[in-house]
Amino acid sequence: MLCIFLIADPIEIHVEKNKNYKKYIKDLNLIGDWSIEAERYFINFILTAGNKWDVSFEKNHEILLDHKPREMFWKYDNEKGKISIYNKKEITIYGGDEIIIKEYIGNKCFKAELNKNYQIKMCKIKGRIVNNVKELIKIDMK
């Protein structure tokens, strides 16, 4: 039987909250299931009235509401943190919705603004929050 004993100095791990919240917005992985909630009022969003929605942003840029297609699509401008929701039909009464993501508040949630009028909270309930997790984690070993 061969025994090897290794003697090593202890490793210190420092975990710091990343102060650069913009990275969450710029590298946001929108694809997945989200809960969107209005802070105060019943409002109109994707042709429905309410104050809470379960929305899925699909890979093909389609939007599902309560797991049902809405014939609406999305695009994301990661530099501006802007989600544009639109209908591809030429003739429609729906002018679209716009969400501006303002701040990452933790626990996969963001403060955002809907249509420049309403404060909302968006929380990712299924899927990865960012595309490149390694960019958000910094490990210092001394």
The answer to whether the CB of 62 falls within 8 A of the CB of 46 is no
CATH number, residue 128: 2.40.128
Q: Which domain holds residue 110?
A: 29-134
Residue 115 CA to its chain's centroid (Å): 17
**What is the reported pLDDT for 83?**
94
Q: 44-101 pLDDT, tens per residue?
A: 999 899 999 999 999 999 999 999 998 899 999 988 899 999 987 766 778 899 999 9
Three-class SS state of 117: coil
In-domain check, residue 22: no
Q: What angle do CA 118, 99, 86 make, to 5 degrees?
A: 120
In-domain check, residue 9: no
Q: Which of 129, 25, 52, 46 is nearest to 95 (CA)?
A: 46
Q: 7-47 pLDDT, tens per residue?
A: 655 655 544 444 445 666 777 889 999 999 998 888 999 98
pTM of whole model > 0.85? no
**What is the reported pLDDT for 14?**
47
In-domain check, residue 52: yes
**What is the reported pLDDT for 137?**
53
